């Protein structure tokens, strides 16, 4: 058993230590907002926060996340109050199909925590998540709006 702290709750998961964290989150804990895209740390669909930092959970063994504070998209809002990135996403109609968006939002929330007023260059170098629907311009606009909120 591996003990995980996800969104402030403790979960015991019965998986091999080298199981990707993504699968423990989705299949053991049942939080399916975090998505599987590539499985090789390239697309960012599986992004969660580990102790506040954005991590691609498909490429992290579950054992490495034990004892750390894991936040998924389901835990980003504070109760009924959406995170400012979620609000900006709604205001800018960012999602198309939505598949990449949980990971995108988690990556952006971590960026704004480290850099409250990111430049376009900061966004280009940090938000490397892939969106097959091509929402990149709306993502950029929403990041700048969230930075001003």
Where along the sequence are the contacts to ligand FES (CB under 6 A)? 36-39, 41-46, 56, 58, 95-101, 131-133, 135
Q: Cβ 35 to ligand FES, closest distance in Å? A: 7
Give the burial class of 19: count Cβ atoms within 10 A of its Cβ; 0-12 exposed, 13-18 middle, 19 or more buried: middle
CA 24, CA 12: separation in Å to the nearest integer?
Answer: 10
Q: Cβ 142 to ligand FES, closest distance in Å? A: 12
Q: Are strands 53-56 and 47-50 parallel, antiparallel or unpaired?
A: antiparallel
Find the length of the chain: 149
Q: Cβ 102 to ligand FES, closest distance in Å? A: 10
Nearer to ligand FES, 95 or 118 (CB): 95
Q: Cβ 79 to ligand FES, closest distance in Å? A: 26
Nearer to ligand FES, 12 or 91 (CB): 91
Give the burial class of 36: count Cβ atoms within 10 A of its Cβ; 0-12 exposed, 13-18 middle, 19 or more buried: middle
Cβ atoms 75, 7 nearer than 8 A? yes
Q: Phi and psi for 32 in degrees, rounded to 5?
A: -100, 10
Nearer to ligand FES, 53 or 116 (CB): 53
Q: Cβ 87 to ligand FES, closest distance in Å? A: 18
Cβ atoms 5, 69 nearer than 8 A? yes
Nearer to ligand FES, 41 or 82 (CB): 41
Nearer to ligand FES, 52 or 98 (CB): 98
């Amino acid at each position: 058993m591996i003990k995980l702290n996800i969104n402030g709750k403790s979960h015991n998961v019965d998986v091999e230590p080298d199981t990707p964290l993504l699968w423990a989150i989705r299949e053991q804990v049942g939080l399916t907002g975090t998505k599987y895209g590539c499985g090789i740390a390239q697309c960012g669909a599986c992004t969660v926060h580990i102790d506040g930092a954005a991590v691609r959970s498909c490429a992290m063994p579950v054992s490495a996340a034990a004892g750390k504070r894991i936040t998924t998209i389901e835990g980003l809002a504070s109760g009924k109050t959406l995170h400012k990135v979620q609000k900006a996403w709604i205001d800018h109609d960012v999602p198309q199909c939505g598949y990449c968006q949980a990971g995108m939002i988690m990556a952006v929330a971590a960026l704004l925590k480290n850099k409250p007023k990111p430049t376009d260059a900061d966004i280009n170098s940090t938000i490397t998540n892939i969106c097959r629907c091509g929402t990149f311009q709306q993502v950029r606009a929403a990041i700048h709006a969230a930075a001003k909120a």
